[in-house]
């Protein structure tokens, strides 16, 4: 059938508003993060550390929906809470990735106008307030997405487990159960914090809210955002149609490294189903540049948290 949306010239991000009116809203994602704006500390907006826990068995199946790779998870025993989410408890629904055609583009969010090679998204939903993912996806505080920037460099061990499965889901609608342990917390750039228990990794980032801008330490020397264990947070949307304005975005300042080869494995996924003709007119039907470009932050506040 005719595809409703994609990342091509014809049905790409600039056309989404025609079929998905929410895409024209004022709370859209991604955005460009301007770190250079030095702001003074603000009163603590949330006193709770951001905490998460994922059982190593959470990753259940890997899927090729034709526009990314996605790992569907068993939310039981997973949680994300604290920080901008306050006391609400969110469960992990799935994680997926966005990437480019080369290592210099691919992320959805940008930092000071710079794109990364990719961006990993861990999608959670608010189980304190809503009964299902679908219900939460329509609510302004329904979803929370953890975002991790990918930079080309050395190979990533946990992502390698995913890269090794991708040839088995090379075509659209392919789906493969995962029988090994792929630990979502090992995909995050922040380690340490509280030690995890034996069956699941648990981590946290302590509260320390500041306004967007370069970190000002007590010694008044600024340091680069890349040295920081913290995160940026703002209220936004899903980055794909229907672009619901239901996401609290939490973006780690630290990136993770993945190898050029691992990115190339992502770039080999097909947009078309097994057995169908290759639509060779566009990039031989491979999934690349599956990112939405940044949208205006507008009146929204981008907060900087953690230390």
- Residues making contact with ligand SG7 (CB under 6 A): 65, 67-68, 70, 94, 96, 121, 123, 137, 145, 238-240
Q: Which is nearer to ligand SG7, 225 or 291 (CB)?
A: 291
Which option in ligand SG7, Zn ion, none does residue 5 bind, with CB closer than 5 to 8 A by kind? none
Q: How far is the CB of 79 from ligand SG7 (least distance, A)?
A: 18
Contact between 230 and 307 under an 8 Å Cβ cutoff? The reply is: yes
In what helix (H) or strand (E) does residue 99 lie, and over which residues does it extend? Answer: strand 90-99
Q: Can you give the C-alpha Rg of the chain in angstroms?
A: 19
Interaction of residue 121 with Zn ion, rule CB under 5 A = yes
Residue 28's binding partner among Zn ion, ligand SG7, none (Cβ under 5 to 8 angstroms by kind) is none
65 interface partner picked from Zn ion, ligand SG7, none, CB below 5 to 8 A per type: ligand SG7
Who contacts 231 (Cβ-Cβ below 8 Å, separation ≥6)?
A: 50, 83, 205, 250, 251, 252, 253, 304, 305, 306
Indicate the residue among 61 and 86 with the shorter CB distance to ligand SG7.
Answer: 61
Nearest to Zn ion of 109, 121 (CB atom)? 121
124 lines the binding site for Zn ion (CB under 5 A):
no
Look at residue 18 and give its three-state secondary structure.
helix
* Shortest Å distance, C-beta 135 to ligand SG7: 12
CA distance 272 to 280: 11
Residues facing residue 244 across a β-bridge: none
From 123, 62, 135, select the one nearest 93 (Cα to Cα).
123
Site of tokens 């999934």? 287
Window contacting Zn ion (CB under 5 A); options: 22-30, 69-77, 114-122, 272-280: 114-122
Nearer to ligand SG7, 81 or 239 (CB): 239
Least Å from the CB of residue 153 to ligand SG7: 23
Where does the chain have alpha helices with state H? Answer: 16-19, 133-136, 157-165, 260-266
Cβ–Cβ < 8 Å for 72, 177: no
> DSSP letter string over 45-64?
S--SPEEEEEETT-EEEEE-
* Smaller CB separation from Zn ion, 121 or 254: 121
122 or 215: CB nearest ligand SG7: 122
137 binds, among Zn ion, ligand SG7, none (CB under 5 to 8 A by kind): ligand SG7
Q: Closest separation between CB of residue 63 and ligand SG7, Å?
A: 8
164: Cβ–Cβ under 8 A, 6 or more apart, which residues?
none
Total residues at the site for Zn ion (CB under 5 A)? 1
Point out which span in 119-127, 130-138, 208-216, 270-278 binds Zn ion (CB under 5 A). Answer: 119-127
Residue 109 in contact with Zn ion, rule: CB under 5 A: no
- Torsion angles phi and psi, residue 276, rounded to 5: -85, 160
- Provide the minimum distance between the beta carbon of 240 and Zn ion in the complex, in angstroms, as a whole number: 7
Residue among 111 and 122 whose Cβ is closer to ligand SG7: 122
Comparing every residue's Cβ against Zn ion, the nearest one is 121
Can you tell me whether residue 287 is helix, strand or coil?
A: coil
Binding region for Zn ion (CB under 5 A): 121
């Amino acid at each position: 059938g005719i595809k409703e949306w994609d990342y091509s010239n014809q049905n790409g991000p600039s056309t989404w508003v025609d079929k998905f009116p929410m895409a024209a809203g004022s709370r859209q994602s991604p955005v460009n993060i301007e770190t250079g704006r030095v702001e003074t500390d603000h009163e603590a907006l949330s006193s709770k550390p951001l905490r998460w826990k994922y059982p190593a068995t959470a990753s259940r199946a890997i899927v090729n929906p034709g526009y990314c790779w996605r790992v569907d998870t068993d939310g039981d025993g997973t949680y994300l809470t604290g920080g901008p989410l306050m006391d609400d408890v969110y469960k992990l629904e799935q994680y997926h990735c966005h990437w480019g055609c080369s290592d210099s583009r691919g992320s959805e969010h940008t930092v000071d106008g710079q794109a990364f090679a990719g961006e990993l998204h861990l999608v959670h939903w608010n189980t304190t307030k809503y009964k299902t993912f679908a219900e939460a996806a329509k609510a302004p505080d329904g979803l929370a997405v953890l975002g991790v920037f990918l930079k080309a460099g050395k190979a990533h061990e946990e992502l390698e487990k995913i890269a090794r499965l991708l040839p088995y889901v090379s075509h659209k609608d392919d789906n493969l159960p995962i029988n090994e342990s792929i630990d979502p917390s090992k995909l995050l750039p922040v380690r340490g914090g509280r030690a995890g228990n034996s069956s699941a990794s648990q981590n946290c980032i302590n509260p320390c809210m500041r306004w967007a801008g370069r970190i000002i330490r007590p010694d008044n020397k600024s340091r680069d955002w890349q040295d920081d264990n913290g995160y940026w947070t703002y209220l936004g949307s899903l980055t794909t149609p229907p672009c619901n304005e239901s996401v609290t975005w939490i973006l780690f300042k630290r990136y993770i490294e993945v190898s050029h080869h691992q990115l190339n494995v992502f770039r080999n996924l097909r947009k078309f189903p097994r057995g169908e003709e290759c639509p060779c007119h566009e990039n031989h039907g491979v999934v690349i540049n599956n990112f939405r470009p940044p949208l205006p932050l507008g009146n929204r506040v981008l907060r900087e948290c953690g230390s």
